[in-house]
Structures are given as C-alpha cells and as structure tokens.
Amino acid sequence: MPVVVIIGGQWGDEGKGKIVDLLAEKACYTVRFSGGDNAGHTVVNQFGEFKLHLTPSGIFHQTCTAVIGNGAAVNPAVLLRELSELKRSGVDTSHLLISRRAHVIMPYHILFDRLEEKGRGEQAIGTTQKGIGPAFADKVARLGIRVGDLLDHDVFYRRLKQVIEHKNTILTKVYGAEPLSVDEVYRTYIEYGKELEPFVQDTEVIIADAIRAGKMVLLEGAQGSLLDPDFGTYPYVTSSSPTIGGAILGSGIAPAAITACLGVFKAYATRVGSGPMPTELKDETGDFIRKRAQEYGATTGRPRRCGWFDAVAGRFTTCINGFTGIALTRLDVLDVLPAIKVCVAYELQGQRLKHFPSNSETLSRCQPVYEEFQGWLAPTSGIRRLADLPLKAKRYVEGLEELLGCRMDIISVGASREQTIMVR
C-alpha cells in the first residue's frame, strides 16, 4: 500500500490541507512531520471550514489516525484549543497521536521570536512569531523540551530549571526583559502534559508497523519547499525542513518505504513574509488576485504577496523533492483573467539563468522571463473531469506539466473536498 508524501512546492499555502483531507479518506495514518503552529491548513468539508495549525488534516476521517510526528514542534496551548474547537464542531479527535520525541514550544521561544525579529529591523524575516525559529534552534542546541519530558515531572523540572536559567540570562542581560519564573512555567506545562498524555506514544514504531502491515500512510508537509532552510530563499526561510528529507527525518519512515511524493502548487504564486519573489505583482493584477482568492494568511491574517507562477522555482522544487506527481490548486482563481503569465527563465545582467540561484541577493536581482497563456474566461469550479476543462485551461495545465517536467495527478477547482478533478 502507498506511503505518500504531500509537500508544498512553493512558499507555503498551496492548499496542502485540502489535498490531505481529500486523500486521507483512503489512508490509515496522516503524519505531520515538520513545522508547528506557523502552519495554517484550511480544510472545507461536511464538518465546516477549519484552519488547522497543528492537528493533521486527516483528523476528519474516523479511520485515519492523525499523528503529530517527532519532527513537528508542539505548542500545547494551541493544540488543546484546536482540539476543543474540532470537538465543538462534532469532529472526533480521539484518534490523534503525538510523538514523545516532538519538541515543545515554550513561552521563551515566542518571546525570543519577537525580540529577534525586532532586532533584525529592516531585515526582519516576517516570521509568524509562533516561536518556531527559537524552538528548532534549541532542538539542535540540545536545549529543547520534548513532549515526553512533560510526562516525567522530576526530569521536566530539572531540565526546565537549567534551560530557563540560561534563557533568563539572555532575556535580562541582552534584551533587558523580565525573567521568566521556572515554577510558573513548570506548573502550566505539567497541566498541559496531563491533558496531552492520552495521545502521547512512540509514534515512529506505530507508523513503521502500519507500513509493514501494508496500510496507507500520508505524510502531510507544512510550509513550502522554498522556505526550506537548505534549499529555500535563505535566510528568509522557516526553521525545519518542509521537503522530502524533512518527511523522513520528521516521521521515522525509511526512505525506501515512500511510494509517491506529491508536490502541491497553486496555479499562481504567493508568499507571506519577507524575502525575494521574482514574479511578485505589485500592481492591480496582484491586488486583484489577492482580493479574488482571499489571499490572507491562515495563521497571521497578513495579506499574501501574489504573483505569476514561477516555473524556474517550481522546476527546482520538483527536482529536489523528486515529485512523482503534481496537485495543482486554485485553478478556478484564474478563470476571469484574459491572459496568464508563467515565468520560464530568469535574466540576470543580460544573461539567462538555467538554475534557481542559491542566494537571496542574486534571486532578488533576477528578472522573470514570461511566457503568456491565453485565459479561458469560463468558470471551472463545477468541473470534475479533465475532459470538461476549457481547452485553454487544459493548455495552461499542460504548459505547467511540461515546464515542471512532472505529470498532474490532481487539479483543484475550489476549496471544498469535492471540487476536485482526479486526473490519475
């Protein structure tokens, strides 16, 4: 049975939540493997509309165990709030599992995220201020608190005391901020631990057993490949890996078990936060797309920067992830545009660039070279079969397939589960 990884091919918000909710119907497990509540995954189904930050998007299917894997970072307050909201909407959340190894977002992570962003001044990354960067930095600095630690009160207290003393030195001496109280944080997080305990497991072993038993497993990417700390527009990136490598590391799945890697792309481009975006439209067309598509961040509400599809960046993310297929979302947003552009190359000082540049300074100086496609000027949101797409829409889709060097598996023409064309 398939083990399918679902990965954002752009700068996040490609519609991964919708695609995972759709595919989870047949899956036994859905695993979030990276990021934290910086993610906002919108799911629209029979229960309503949800913007999930931590809960895997497979939660709506009773038969699909939703796993927060070892590679994710958990803010317990956010997760508990999300679970009670889901329950209020009639969604059973008892089939959630949280890895004992997942790191916990602590109050000082959020404080440092804010203070560090402020300190960056004009070079601020535009983080979601959820404490993600500081939490993953602590993970590799061996200063992290893991979900399993919250369940062992003595171990947790000793560890927390050591870490908070260290953090308080920086808070007070570098930032002139108020120190945190070890006892207060301890009491709050012990309570969180009690509430989370029923869900906490060695999920890596459970997933491995499921794969051995031939069950279908979905791995739900957060963020997008161009926000990857290695392959993205560094330093304007996030702090855990949203790409295929992160899927393996963040779930404990062996690479050879993966049978497909689906790249989710929206039919144009968006980005939230700072950093280069060669096809950004700072004009009325960009404003028009933002308004029509309601391109505002699911986590922070910030307006998303909108632009044309960037096939140079897309080819790069297809290559590094080894996408075996593409899920193209939001095609319907383009229904009303008479002409649609796609960036097919970059130009830098009169030279054509063959590859996606490795540094943000170079990328920010690149000029996009566009190919223009004719708009189809017809509604697509009611279409369910590829054959019924307007000819010009089909040409656009085929053009993207050719530019990315990858076949379309799914075309999404609306936010809800059923507004989907299953190509394969």
* Contacting residues toward ligand IMO, per CB under 6 A: 8, 11-13, 35, 38-41, 125-128, 130, 132-133, 222-224, 227, 238-239, 272-273, 298
Which residues on adjacent β-strands are paired with residue 67? Answer: 31, 97
Question: Rounded CA gap, 421 and 424, in Å?
Answer: 9
Q: Which entry of ligand GDP, ligand IMO, Mg ion, none binds 132, CB below 5 to 8 A by partner kind?
A: ligand IMO
- Residue 383 touching ligand GDP (CB under 6 A): no
Residue 171 CA to residue 181 CA, distance in Å, equals 12
CA distance 6 to 239: 19
Selected binder of ligand GDP within 3, 7, 9, 16 (CB under 6 A): 16
Q: What is the C-alpha separation between 340 and 307, in angstroms, rounded?
A: 10
Residue with Cβ nearer ligand GDP (41 or 139): 41
Query: CA-to-CA distance for 272 and 234, rounded, in angstroms?
Result: 15
Q: Does 99 bind ligand GDP (CB under 6 A)?
A: no
CB atoms inside a 10 Å sphere around CB 303: 15
Is there binding between residue 380 and ligand GDP (CB under 6 A)?
no
Give the amino acid at 175.
Y
Which x/- pattern over 273-302 shows residues binding Mg ion (rule: CB under 5 A)?
-------------------------x----
Q: Shortest gap between Cβ of 8 and ligand GDP (angstroms)?
A: 6
Q: Which of 21, 41, 53, 109 is an active site residue? A: 41
Cα–Cα distance for residue pair 261/324, rounded to 1 Å: 5
Structural contact between residues 108 and 138, judged by C-beta atoms closer than 8 angstroms? no
* Per-residue contact flags (x/-) with ligand GDP for residues 279 to 318, judged by CB under 6 A: -------------------x--------------------
Q: What is the DSSP string of 116-134?
A: HHHHHGGG-----SSSHHH
- Residue numbers annotated as active site: 13, 41
Contacts with ligand GDP by CB under 6 A lie at 8, 12-18, 40-42, 44, 298, 329-330, 332-333, 412-415
Interaction site with Mg ion (CB under 5 A): 13, 40, 298
